[in-house]
Amino acid sequence: MDQMFVNIKAALVGLSDKVFPDWVGVLVSIAVSIVAIALLGPLIMMYLTLIERKVVARMQNRIGPNRVGKYGLLQPLADGVKMLIKEDIVPRNADKVLHLLAPILIVAPALLVFAVLPFGRNMTAVDLNVGILFFAAISSIGTIGIFMAAWGSNNKFSVLGGMRSVAQMISYEIPMVMSVVPVLLAVGSLSTNAIVEAQADWHWFVFTPWGFLGCVIFFLCGVAECNRSPFDLAEAESEIIAGFHTEYSGMKFALFYMAEFMSAFTISGMTTTLFLGGWQGPLLPSWLWFFLKTYGLIFIMLWFRATLPRLRVDQLMALAWKFLLPLSLVNIVATCIWHFLSDEAFFTPAAFLVPLALLVFSYWGLMKLNQPYMPEKRVYPLVD
Amino acid sequence: MFFGLGILRGMNITLMNFIRSYTRKRGSGEIGALTTVQYPEERLPEKEKFRNFPFLIYDDKPEDLRCVACDICAQDCPPRCIYIVKETDEAGKPMKKPAVFDIDFTVCMNCGICEEVCPFDAIFMDHEFEIADSDRHDKLLYHRDDLLKTNEHFHKIRPNDGREVDTRLAEAKEAKAKKDEARKKAAEAKAAAKAKAEAEKATEAKEDKPPETEKESDPQ
Amino acid sequence: MFEKMRVKTKVIDSGKSGLDTQTLEVNVGPQHPSTHGVFRMTIVLDGEVVKSLRPVMGYLHRNHEQIAENITYSASMPYTDRLDYFNSMSNNQAWAMTVEQLAEVEIPDRAEYIRVIMSELTRLVNHVSVIGFLLNDMGAFFTPTLFAFREREKVLDVFEAVSGSRMMCNYLRFGGVNRDLTDDQLGQIKKIVADFPAFLDEFETLLAQNEIVCMRCQNVGVLPAELAINASITGPMLRASGVNYDIRKVDQYSVYDRFEFKIPLGEKGDVYDRYYVRMLEMRESLKILNQALEQIEPGPFMAPKVPACLKNPRNFKPPVGEAYGRVEAPKGELGFYVVSDGSKEPWRYHVRAPSFINLTVLEAMCIGYKLADAIVILGSIDIVLGEVDR
């Protein structure tokens, strides 16, 4: 079970080896991975839309889509058909080339990131030795696509959304990368596989104080990166209609959604890989563990969306620069302390408590320093 | 207070609603229970007083509808969506019956005033609301025959009001019959008295003219 | 054509930096997800900051006042439903009170109690909805709105059973109410009132203490008490600015003098205060409802002795004169001014719509805040375009 997909691939390669010369086998091996990823991305996106609608509906005392197929399971297909046959409207004064290119440029990097995700034991499409770097670099390309869409639409709301998006992406990239540094310090490798393997035997980084904090920061920044609530300012429907994709319809619009959902998945998958032990886990097959953890994180994203209002643009910046960034810097120091005190063991009381104390103290200190953003206590007199 | 505590509390509420949507019975009205009513298959219980668009009521045959074309509803209708023309007999004399009774449902605002002002209990508000149509000019302009519905229908949608209206009508009929009876008697008495008086007069005046024959008053 | 479609921009001297910056004029509305209908704001933005804001109204103008001057007094009743379509019962009450004042009608006790119960239920409906919409404007993806609507439905069910319609109730009549409340319906209302505090607790825990809501709402859109009084703001908005003015207490109309209730006042007059004052007002409304449900007694629901002119409401011809009736509608002071020349139709009919008057301070509240704040401030005013444009 565990190596099911790996074996299928090996069988396919073996089959081609029997019939064709060696170099075809290499090509087949590459092609199988590419096809698998290229199919997996859209498939995940399609059913994420259904999951999102179902989960959010349940949180709002509704049933959610249930008309197309049993439990609405065919709803994504119906949506897809609808999107495909819709008219593609391009505003008259839009920059036609940018308008066309933008959705493509957003989807491509979102799909590329799948390449370095370790879906299970021996199940990384491309085991890059700089996997994390690749992830950080590629996932920020999407911003260009968003700004192209915003500018190309020739719409004031789009431009506002695009500018918000660019500012947000640049700000959140920094604490995001900074929160990965502790993992790199602990593992000593940028390869995603090496990181997962370092977390064997329940040594998930999330169980350490720095790992927990890093996980939270990374996940929050990731949510901001893929423009999801409560950081969905770039497409805040109550303020700027739909932000950068106001002027998109039909399949182009669907591509924006695809990119958003695929990056939601990759962010969750990467958080799983970095902090939640990746595919490590007892009993169940490794890939199942990976998907379980990833969908758990996606559930949290949907939960955010169903609960939280969105931040204002200045508060968003403040959260990144005045709160998450200092905290992630302290986190690096905490990791170093943990490393020296733990002395190669995963858990020792001193190595647990000292970084924890440091982090709690700095959290408290940052709260004090960010007093203007703290809620005020109000008293409401009741008079006659 | 720690930053983030309020967020966590709020998220607890949504999570509880998520869980309760599975554990609590749909439509029970408890917090967290699903509230959806799956419309075409399931419907909310109809309330008796619910009002939507008006209909004209008839008792036995569609010809003898209760409406007498008095035009009160048309005059009192706030958006003036009722149009009535009286039927005329061969001689051109208007009859107590509508020849044209049109209600423009695109204009009607379901206020129920026509039902309230009608002195003959001839127009009532229906429970039918699925009358959507693609043509708002012709299809939603309802004519007399489209508006006709039986008394049974009225009893079905509004049993209490139906009983009430029926007893009221029966009483009115009885009262009217009594009144007619009384009027008839009075008229007869009057005629008799008059005849007597005339006779007396005649005898007194000793005129040759015969007494005038009194016409009986029309029961209507 | 091309030139006309260009963004109308103004070059402003940005002073020290020497950068050439422009302001951006955006039209928020009339088709916009959070203008609560067809309302338009022409906002001049400097980056994200609102430099000027011009409200444009009238997209939903229906000639309400002119229509009312051409139909009978009683036929105006269903039209008042459509002013503020969230609170048809309070609108009915204000109109009925005006005409009763004109014709000098005494209303039986039971009718007054029914009116109070209905208008307080309306207040609950309005306040939960407006808070839901406000949080929705802030970006909480429909959860508060749907929670609010879940409870609102229960009240609307009662309205439907009582009056025949969920929103366009057309329930009150001059001299009383259209139909009596049955014991069943009273029981239903009692159950709603008993269950409501649990919902309010949930609703409050959901977002009232939420840090993001606090950040977004506190010290945003501050309306000073002086400005509020000068602009004749009424309702929860005025009380959020700390002015103790509630027509239920000032006029003591209907039977409000028989109930024990308090008026919650805000501290700063910002969006958060407006939000929270509404929360507290609902709790006070529940107190009134509890007392009214206890005190209500059987009796006539229409005035037994009405003046001759009201015997037949069809031919109702009030005496020559004028009247102004007002109630504390959920959105503020709702008043009807009517002048009668003794004929079947009013000679002059005017609505003092709280939404419209509360909207006049929108620009003063928004300038200097961000675009996102302007949306939230608009949401906190609580407008209904049916009433603004009439």
pLDDT tens readout for residues C268-277:
888 988 989 9
A371 touches chain C (CB under 8 A): no
Q: What are the b/e assignments for A247-262, b being 16+ CB within 10 Å?
A: bbeeebbbbbbbbbbb
Out of B15, B34, B38, closest to residue A303 by CB:
B15
Tell me whether residues C206 and B14 touch, CB distance under 8 A: yes
Out of B7, B31, B75, closest to residue C199 by CB:
B31
A308 touches chain C (CB under 8 A): yes
For residue A149, name the pLDDT band (cuts at 50, 70, 90): confident
List of residues 6+ apart from A281 with CB closer than 8 A: A289, A292, A293
Return the minimum-mean-pLDDT range out of A241-245, A324-328, C366-370.
A241-245
Segment 130-159 of chain C within 8 Å of chain B by CB: 143, 150, 153-154, 157
pTM, rounded to two decimals = 0.85
Number of other CB atoms surrounding residue C229 within 10 Å: 14
**What is residue C17's predicted lDDT score, i.e. its pLDDT?**
60
Measured between CA atoms, how close is B30 to chain A, in angstroms? 10
Return the minimum-mean-pLDDT range out of A2-11, A227-236, B76-85.
A2-11
C150 touches chain A (CB under 8 A): yes
Measured between CA atoms, how close is A58 to chain B, in angstroms? 5
Burial of B92 (0-12, 13-18, 19+ CB in 10 A): exposed
Q: Which residues of B have a CB under 8 Å from any CB of A? A: 1-3, 6-7, 10-11, 13-15, 17-18, 21-22, 32-36, 38
**What is residue B91's predicted lDDT score, i.e. its pLDDT?**
80
User: Of C91, C114, C120, nearest to C176 (Cα)?
Assistant: C114
C262 touches chain A (CB under 8 A): yes
Interface test with B, best of C209, C272, C349 (most B CBs within 10 A): C209
**What is residue C308's predicted lDDT score, i.e. its pLDDT?**
59
Out of B5, B9, B78, closest to residue C71 by CB:
B78
For residue C3, name the pLDDT band (cuts at 50, 70, 90): very low
Q: In chain A, which residue's Cα lies nearest the Cα of C214?
A: A375
Out of B3, B11, B34, closest to residue A61 by CB:
B34
C292 vs C110: CA distance, rounded Å: 10
C162 touches chain B (CB under 8 A): yes
For residue C18, name the pLDDT band (cuts at 50, 70, 90): low
Return the minimum-mean-pLDDT range out of B66-75, C88-97, C239-248, C367-376.
B66-75
List of residues 6+ apart from C65 with CB closer than 8 A: C349, C350, C351, C390
Measured between CA atoms, how close is B46 to chain A, in angstroms? 22
Segment 263-322 of chain C within 8 Å of chain A by CB: 263-268, 272-273, 276-277, 280, 284
For residue A286, name the pLDDT band (cuts at 50, 70, 90): confident
**What is residue B127's predicted lDDT score, i.e. its pLDDT?**
85
B24 vs A293: CA distance, rounded Å: 27
**What is residue C7's predicted lDDT score, i.e. its pLDDT?**
45
Q: What percent of chain B has pLDDT over 90?
A: 0
Subunits next to B (3 or more Cβ pairs <8 Å) are A, C
C231, C363 in Cβ contact below 8 A?
Answer: no
pLDDT for residue B210 is more than 60: no
Which two tokens mark C50? 């609102």
Q: In chain A, which residue's Cα lies nearest the Cα of C219?
A: A376
Nearest 5°: phi and psi at C319?
-65, 160
Which two tokens mark A20? 């064709």
Return the minimum-mean-pLDDT range out of A18-32, A242-256, C140-154.
A18-32
Tell me whether residues A59 and B3 touch, CB distance under 8 A: no
A311 vs A333: CA distance, rounded Å: 29
Helix A325-342 × helix A209-225 angle, to 10°: 150
C334, C327 in Cβ contact below 8 A?
Answer: yes
pLDDT for residue C12 is more than 70: no
Return the minimum-mean-pLDDT range out of A309-313, B88-92, C80-84.
B88-92
pLDDT for residue B213 is more than 50: no
**To which H or E segment does residue A177 belong?**
helix A156-187
E-assigned strand segments in chain A: 382-383
Task: Looking at mean pLDDT, say which of A186-200, B51-65, C23-37, C183-197 comes out highest.
Answer: C183-197
Number of other CB atoms surrounding residue A167 within 10 Å: 17
**What is residue C6's predicted lDDT score, i.e. its pLDDT?**
44
For residue B220, name the pLDDT band (cuts at 50, 70, 90): very low
Which two tokens mark C259? 């109930």
Mean pLDDT of A348-375: 81
**What is residue B1's predicted lDDT score, i.e. its pLDDT?**
56
Q: In chain A, which residue's Cα lies nearest the Cα of B40?
A: A67
**What is residue B215's predicted lDDT score, i.e. its pLDDT?**
45
Segment 31-70 of chain C within 8 Å of chain A by CB: 32-34, 45, 48
C101 touches chain B (CB under 8 A): no
Tell me whether residues B14 and A62 touch, CB distance under 8 A: no
Mean pLDDT of C65-87: 87
Mean pLDDT of C311-316: 67
Q: Which residues of B touch A213 (CB under 8 A)?
A: none
Mean pLDDT of A178-191: 86
pLDDT for residue C323 is more than 60: yes
Tell me whether residues A315 and C215 touch, CB distance under 8 A: yes
Out of B6, B14, B33, closest to residue A306 by CB:
B14
User: Which domains, ranges and CATH numbers included, belong to chain B?
Assistant: 16-45 (no CATH), 54-171 (3.30.70.3270)
pLDDT for residue A135 is more than 70: yes
**What is residue B218's predicted lDDT score, i.e. its pLDDT?**
46
pLDDT for residue B219 is more than 50: no
pLDDT for residue C116 is more than 50: yes
For residue C143, name the pLDDT band (cuts at 50, 70, 90): confident
The string of DSSP letters for B110-172 reads ---HHHHH-TTS-EEE--------S-TTTTTEE-HHHHEEEHHHHHHH-HHHHHHHHHHHHHH
Tell me whether residues C202 and B13 touch, CB distance under 8 A: yes
Tell me whether residues A61 and B32 touch, CB distance under 8 A: yes
Tell me whether residues B10 and A307 touch, CB distance under 8 A: yes
For residue B32, name the pLDDT band (cuts at 50, 70, 90): confident
Which two tokens mark B138? 């012709």
Number of other CB atoms surrounding residue A197 within 10 Å: 16
**What is residue A67's predicted lDDT score, i.e. its pLDDT?**
85
Q: How far from each other are the two terminal CA atoms of chain B, in whole angstroms?
A: 85
Read off the pLDDT of residues C335-387 as tens digits, 9 standing for 90 and up: 999 998 888 888 889 999 898 898 888 888 888 888 888 888 988 888 888 88
Subunits next to C (3 or more Cβ pairs <8 Å) are A, B
Tell me whether residues C198 and B31 touch, CB distance under 8 A: yes
- Average pLDDT taken over every residue of chain A: 84
Q: Which residues of C touch A375 (CB under 8 A)?
A: 209, 211, 214-215, 218
C272 vs A360: CA distance, rounded Å: 30
Mean pLDDT of B12-33: 83
Return the minimum-mean-pLDDT range out of A4-18, B175-189, C1-15, C140-154.
C1-15
